[in-house]
Amino acid sequence: MGVMDKELESKTSYSGKKIVNDFTLTAATRNGTGSQTSNNVLVLSLFKMGIPVNGKNLFPSNIKGLPTWYTIRASKDGYTARPSSSEVAVVFNQDTAAEDIQKLPAGGVAIVPQEWHWTHSREDIYYYEIPVDPMVKEAGIASELRERVANMVYVGAVAHLFSIPMDIIWQALLTNFSGKEKPAKINFDMVQRAYDWSVANMVKQDGFSYEPMPGGNTGKIVITGNEAAGIGTLFGGVQVVGWYPITPSTSLIDAMFDHQALRKDPETGLNTVGIMQAEDEIAAIGTIVGAGWAGARSMTATSGPGISLMAEFTGLAYYAEIPCVIWDVTRIGPSTGMPTRTSQGDLLFIHFLGHGDTRQITLLPGSVAECFEFGWRALDVAEVCQTPVFVMSDLDLGMNNWVSEPFVYPDEPINRGKTLNLETLTQFIEEKGEWWRYKDYDGDGIPYRTVPGTDHPRAAYFTRGTGHNEKAGYSERPEDWMNNLRRIERKINNTRKTLPQPVVKTMPGAKVGILSFGSNDPAILEARDRLAAEGIATDYMRVRALPLSESVMEFIRKYERVYLPENNFDGQLAQIIRLETSESTQHMVSLPLGDGLPMTAAWVVENIKKHEGK
């Protein structure tokens, strides 16, 4: 519990106050007991009531038994960041019950199984008890389903206590089970039983409730970043996917399997994308490098340890100029780290991945909509620039459910870049009298390439990671080496203008700038409102790609102080900026976090206030 949380606790009392659509519920359960369905149903129910909602799963690296917490934040003002505390706790895990209850602020609510005979250890919170085991036994549910369905009991209690209509619960269950009525019904019966019992036996004492906000979520979707990225990649025309299972990236590939029908040839029912599980991440990246070389759009998805294994191949692809896309859904490292905890700690590693002088293009999505967009766009960037393109998402963005506007269809056609086919190669040679694979004909650093299978006697070239000249011939001459690296540098530097540009939000009179990226966005947006309320106006730039846009330094120059909150231990974006500029950045304050959890607005506010002397 941070300083801020304690402050909040002492100042806030919810007793007697009516609080509508502006509180957080945390369900504490044991991993592998099916609570994900219960939590999903609650999130979907609030979504269907039109309430801005965000669900975050804080789960252990374990299949069954260890504690897991799911926080559901309802925010009438639309804030989606992780809150620093929860007002309502569903205390369904005996192992963590004491701690879960202790964490509640005064006036908070604990929902506890009656059979635990939990002593009312605090007098400043509300307890509601419900007979979970007897209720499940009475329901006559098959023993193998009991544990899973037991978690539906708290859905019923929550529905009663905080006013979620039962027909909404039913709709949410149907959505959760993709319209399948049978499993929805089994679960709904349990919810109904718990709801009826709660109506008859629980006296509402606290002031928290949900109220429908008609039209609040009309036309919106609920989706995880990984699903968005997988679907975006399929709309980007990906053709070869090589992958190896690793948390938290696996659900990105699963989403591609779930939606592979999008890419079935209607006439034959055969696939226009091959998704291959490799024997390790080295084979996964080797497969997509081979595919990119042979003219297919290719991608992989992995996380930190996988990126480590991909270093050699991505260095080769950078130097031999082969397009491919690598999604890094980051988790916290070093080493195995905490596989189910979020982080932005791979930024430096990705950007410079490969031995020798490499600078890899990296896209940084900050929302599920951008996960979709960068899904297709990364494939274009890779082929246009003939280089690997990394997309760095994270566990929070990738695995949690987010409310979003529906995704926007790609606004430009697929761009295969400077790839010559038989016809264009013939024309090229007619005009220029030659074609050399690594020669800069256009002055933009991007050469022309051919792919195998091109029926022209001069189409072939020798691809190699060894030193080569413009003609793709082996060369150890210093001039050739420098010439090639300078061209590649030119190519990468040019992308500062063409990659997704930073998003800037301003306030009148701001003397303080905030610079960040990725999934910190919700915490920063909320923090800015809170800071403004306390008299600190801020402008905010969210960087969306590396190498950095030229506008980043312009932004930094404009303010008295610029804060860089980021979710890694070393302040890696700040380091990259300091590497790139010779200007003074003494007014730039790195705010690194990196504790494994999504950033909270409270943390941002606290840190900026401290530095601002307020």
Partner 1 sequence: MPPKAPAKTNALGLTREDYKGTKSTLCPGCGHDSISNQIISTTYDMGLDQHKLIKLSGIGCSSKTPAYFLGRAHAFNSVHGRMPSVATGATLANRDLIAIGVSGDGDSGSIGMGQFKHVMRRNVPMVYIIENNGVYGLTKGQFSATSDAGQTLRYYGKNELPAIDLCMEAIMGGATFVARSFSGNSKQVQTLLRAALAHKGTAVVDIISPCVTFNNTPTSNKSYDYGKANEIPLHEIELIPEGWVPDREEIAIEDYPEGEVISVRMHDGSFVRLKQAGRDHDPRSRIGALTLLENAQMEQLFITGLLYYEEPRPTLADTLRLVEAPLAHLPEEKLRPSKETLANLMTEFM
371-400 positions binding partner 1, by CB under 8 A: 376
- Quote the least distance from Cβ 324 to partner 1, whole Å: 9
334 binds partner 1 (CB under 8 A): no
577 binds partner 1 (CB under 8 A): no
- Quote the least distance from Cβ 330 to partner 1, whole Å: 24
- Quote the least distance from Cβ 322 to partner 1, whole Å: 9
What backbone torsions phi and psi does residue 261 show, to the nearest 5 degrees?
Answer: -60, -25
Amino acid (1-letter code) at residue 179? G
For residues 121 to 160, the per-residue mask of contacts with partner 1, x marking binding by CB under 8 A and - elsewhere, is ----------------------------------------
242 binds partner 1 (CB under 8 A): yes
Q: State how far Cα 498 lies from the chain centre.
A: 23
- Quote the least distance from Cβ 181 to partner 1, whole Å: 17
What is the rounded CA–CA span in Å between residue 69 and residue 26? 6
Contact set for partner 1, span 212-241 (CB under 8 A): 219-223, 231, 234-237, 239-240
Q: For residue 596, give Cα distances in angstroms to 184, 343, 408, 544.
A: 34, 6, 31, 22
Of residues 401 and 520, the one with the C-beta less far from partner 1:
401
- Quote the least distance from Cβ 458 to partner 1, whole Å: 8
Residue span binding partner 1 (CB under 8 A) among the ranges 30-38, 198-206, 311-319, 559-567 = 311-319
451 binds partner 1 (CB under 8 A): yes
For residues 260 to 289, the per-residue mask of contacts with partner 1, x marking binding by CB under 8 A and - elsewhere, is --xx-x--x-xxxxxxx-xxx-xxxxxxxx
Of residues 291 and 556, the one with the C-beta less far from partner 1:
291
Contact set for partner 1, span 288-307 (CB under 8 A): 288-298
- Quote the least distance from Cβ 240 to partner 1, whole Å: 5
What is the rounded CA–CA span in Å between residue 428 and residue 441? 11
17, with CB counted inside 10 A (0-12, 13-18, 19+), is exposed
Nearest by Cα to 244 from 279, 288, 274: 279
454 binds partner 1 (CB under 8 A): yes
Tokens describing residue 405: 């506007």
Contact set for partner 1, span 504-543 (CB under 8 A): none
Q: Which of 10, 13, 120, 474 binds partner 1 (CB under 8 A)?
A: 474
Of residues 68 and 358, the one with the C-beta less far from partner 1:
358
Of residues 286 and 571, the one with the C-beta less far from partner 1:
286
13 binds partner 1 (CB under 8 A): no
What is the rounded CA–CA span in Å between residue 136 and residue 279? 44
- The one-character DSSP state at 264 is B
316 binds partner 1 (CB under 8 A): yes
What backbone torsions phi and psi does residue 105 show, to the nearest 5 degrees?
Answer: -75, 160
- Quote the least distance from Cβ 54 to partner 1, whole Å: 15
| Strands 53-58, 67-75: pairing kind | antiparallel
Nearest by Cα to 450 from 469, 429, 430: 429
SS3 track for 311-371: HHHHHHHHHHCCCEEEEEEECECCCCCECCCCCCCCHHHHHCCCCCCCCCEEECCCCHHHH
- Quote the least distance from Cβ 457 to partner 1, whole Å: 6
- Quote the least distance from Cβ 307 to partner 1, whole Å: 16
Of residues 27 and 172, the one with the C-beta less far from partner 1:
172
313 binds partner 1 (CB under 8 A): yes
Of residues 154 and 293, the one with the C-beta less far from partner 1:
293
Of residues 457 and 509, the one with the C-beta less far from partner 1:
457
Residue indicated by tokens 């790195």: 590
Of residues 60 and 242, the one with the C-beta less far from partner 1:
242
Contact set for partner 1, span 398-437 (CB under 8 A): 406-407, 409-410, 413-414
Sorted by sequence, the CB contacts under 8 Å of residue 378 that are 6+ apart come out as: 233, 236, 299, 325, 363, 389, 391
Neighbours of 59 (CB within 10 A): 22
189, with CB counted inside 10 A (0-12, 13-18, 19+), is middle
